[in-house]
Structure 1
């Protein structure tokens, strides 16, 4: 029998690796993080935090620690060279329980992610460990690392044996290169200078994307009084200009009255990239975050896309490590995450093109923007962030709503197959999308967010009915084996009645009162009365209540869930 030092070796102590290790630790798994540096990166990088990522941080038990380093409801305005607002990104929806966009200070957030690992007896973070070798033996993986002294010299070589390894070490990933997978896309030659200052001399709280043909720029208000500027360097300007104080003052002169008086806390030059690996898995080795995909910064999605990877991979690794799912579940990681990462790169590249237009293109853009802002539908397309591609998984751990077949899910309904419900549902299936998170009440919790009462594993929920009504004894055995929480969503006035009714159910049922009507509206606009939610809160299956056994069986197939008597 193999002896393992840990369940998962995570290579790289950036936000993705740290989040992955925290999620594994929170679910009782062992994780060891190896970081070549002797401390976390201390300069700000990412500045945008999405509501989806916050949901993950709540699952990891870290949101309250991270929250002080964020500013909620970050508004983004695209302006031209004259300061005219071309488009405003100001989403007010809180469908996932939190404001859609936050500004944040990454080094402070990363520090909390690292500190969070100390909560778990089976997680560890080793600084000064540079990975130099990976061996996949089929039933285990051995990761070799050089232990470095403070000067960066190798002191000794050590190895860690684990069930799996995940490379989260950034764009130059050793792990990705070891895997031998392609890294498709392009890296535009455009360079940008980033300047962070204390005691924000502007004082406005949000974000301005300056589509100025003379020199595109970004101006961002961040927590703790920090202001960030980003300026594009022209092709004929050498990178070394960024080290010239006079040049830097000239960049800032149009934005502040006295550039020389600013207290600069960070200054760097970077190049945008738009690349995605051809595969995120090779045997027992995976990649996530920048190791798997690089994207421009325009929509603040580099950090968030990496957190989506960690969220997706963490529950799947946990299920396999616990013996609750077969190895084939891990194949769904690339199938689900690669396409969305690629889509996000494309929309970021398009945003960059809009930002960098010259004088002629800029005038056409400005005229077009003015016309679109006159049409409410198109104006809301930008205001509510509808151009941002939300993750929708059409392959993987999903079940087609019409056919209830496992592994694939069409976004739309075939006409007539779900009559008379199709018209009310608008013809779009919720399968493969993230489920909403409204405020709810239960017998034990009043006016709280949904995730707090359904937990972080599988959920089978019905609207207004008994979720056990159509489940057989074998179905209930599967529910118990995989700790599927059975939930009955009810209008709040009916909750007390439902709690009495479910007192004698063949399995425990959590009755959830719909305080705001959001759950009723969700089911009213979709052709289903039952949903099965994955541990990452994506909808694995949606069906009529009477189809519960078929939907549950199909989810078990799609997720390679083990049944009683299965080995492992």
Structure 2
């Protein structure tokens, strides 16, 4: 068996690369992170953290350390030049277990991500290593980096071998350029200046997007007393004006009486970008985060979109490295992530257009917003963040609910062959969407988040029944082979009965008490009694309970998963499965 220096080389120690390395490490594999800088970036960049990302940080075992650097329920208000609130974004839902939006301090979060790598013996973070070469050798990759001194002069080179390499080194990605893929989209010429200060002189805790025709601005309250302002620069205002205190004070004077008294911790310019790579994979080399897509900052999705990439890619690496799946599983990464990234870019670009409207367009916008706020349905469209496209994977590791066809999933099953067999208030399929995370009870714990019960690998769950009831002996062997946790969701009133009833099932079953009714409501309108959840908590398949065998077979095909006794027994396989049997 061939031995490589590491399993995955991660290029770039930003939040995406560090998160990816943590997720690889927490599942028992090795990663080496190469970073050209001598240390982590110490100034704030991203400021918005979504509930989906928190779920990933929890999986990585780092949420408890990161939580002190966040503020939950970050409200965003769009205001015009007179301070009139045009739209408010204040989602109250916690369907994924956490408040939907948080403010956060990126440098402190990045430090926790970096420190998390120390938990894993085979995972390393190497600063002052600038990647200058990548070679795909068929069954592995070789990544060459220059070792840099304090003045960024090369003092030698080192070459690492690995099963795979992932470029997470930002918009100017060496890896993406090596891949030769297109970087499609546009970069508007509009420039912005960002100013971060300590000891917030305003103290308002949330976010204001100032759609002022004279000069659009952003004002953000962040944790630990940090205030961020962003101001649009006009075309005739050169970047050098940032060095002019008179100009900078003129920008800030509208917000504070004495700009000279502010303690500035970061001041720089940036240009919004809206670009996405044509492919996220070439052979054994991948890209993620800003290397794969760049988006404007309006909805705070650049950081979160990169974390989604890491979440998607990490479990697929784990399955292949563990010998559970064929390398073809990794082809679904681009298939699943690229479209959502492109959709998110479009929404952010549209938001920027609304922000930058001139005087006439601004008046039309303000009148339209006032009218829409009078209609509860449209008002909630903005308040609950419904305009944000939630990740939905229509192709990849998914199974169509109506036909149980692997590899694709229609959003609706209305007028399908499934219709005669169901009575349901809904017609939309949950396949390809993230599963909810309410608080639940089990025999061992009360009032805990569902992810703490199901774990971070595959789950097969049913509502109100024994999940083994419709599984054949072959199915059960497949369940053991892939460490699929079997779960029965029950009303809390029936949990004790079910625990006794299923004690003699043909495989261990974890009974989950639905204390809030959220799980019952979820199944009630989705025309299924069984779901197969992927390691990233997205629904791979949803079916009626009697379709269990067919649904499981389709998941196997969609995920390129091996059957019992089969594995990718090649010289390049460096690690074995770390856990055997069905998780109890």
Which TM-score band applies after superposition, normalised by the shorter structure?
Answer: over 0.9
Cα distance in 1 for partners of 2:338, 2:269 equals 28
The total of aligned residue pairs comes to 568
Is contact 2:413-2:419 (8 Å) kept? no
Is contact 2:191-2:232 (8 Å) kept? yes
Partner of 1:533 in structure 2? 533
The answer as to 2:333 corresponding to 1:333 is: yes
TM-score (norm 1): 0.99
Partner of 2:312 in structure 1? 312
Is contact 2:8-2:31 (8 Å) kept? yes
Question: 5 Å matches for 1:75-474?
Answer: 75-415=75-415, 417-419=417-419, 424-474=424-474
Partner of 2:62 in structure 1? 62
SS of the residue 2:419 aligns to: coil
Is contact 1:104-1:222 (8 Å) kept? yes
The CA deviation at 1:425 is: 4.0
Cα distance in 1 for partners of 2:505, 2:93 equals 36
The CA deviation at 1:563 is: 1.0
5+ residue gaps, structure 2? 569-584
Cα distance in 1 for partners of 2:198, 2:421 equals 56
Deviating more after overlay: 417-426 vs 369-378: 417-426
Moved >6 Å (runs of 4+): none
Partner of 2:564 in structure 1? 564
Cα distance in 1 for partners of 2:280, 2:294 equals 13
Is contact 1:418-1:527 (8 Å) kept? no
SS of the residue 1:424 aligns to: coil
Cα distance in 1 for partners of 2:310, 2:55 equals 12
Cα distance in 2 for partners of 1:278, 1:270 equals 24
Cα distance in 1 for partners of 2:230, 2:566 equals 56
Cα distance in 1 for partners of 2:517, 2:451 equals 17
5+ residue gaps, structure 1? none
The CA deviation at 1:103 is: 0.1
SS of the residue 1:413 aligns to: coil
Is contact 1:11-1:167 (8 Å) kept? yes
Cα distance in 1 for partners of 2:419, 2:477 equals 33
The CA deviation at 1:424 is: 2.9
Is contact 1:305-1:341 (8 Å) kept? yes
The CA deviation at 1:422 is: 6.3
The CA deviation at 1:242 is: 1.4
SS of the residue 1:333 aligns to: helix
TM-score (norm 2): 0.97
SS of the residue 1:71 aligns to: strand
Partner of 1:498 in structure 2? 498
SS of the residue 2:45 aligns to: coil
The answer as to 2:47 corresponding to 1:50 is: no
The CA deviation at 1:419 is: 3.0
Cα distance in 1 for partners of 2:349, 2:483 equals 42
1:93-142: CA deviation from partner (whole Å, max 9, x where unpaired): 00000000000000000000000000011110000000000000010000
Cα distance in 2 for partners of 1:390, 1:477 equals 34
SS of the residue 1:92 aligns to: coil
Is contact 1:421-1:527 (8 Å) kept? no
Partner of 1:30 in structure 2? 30
Q: Note the aligned Cα RMSD (angstroms).
A: 0.8
Cα distance in 1 for partners of 2:185, 2:330 equals 25
The CA deviation at 1:566 is: 2.0
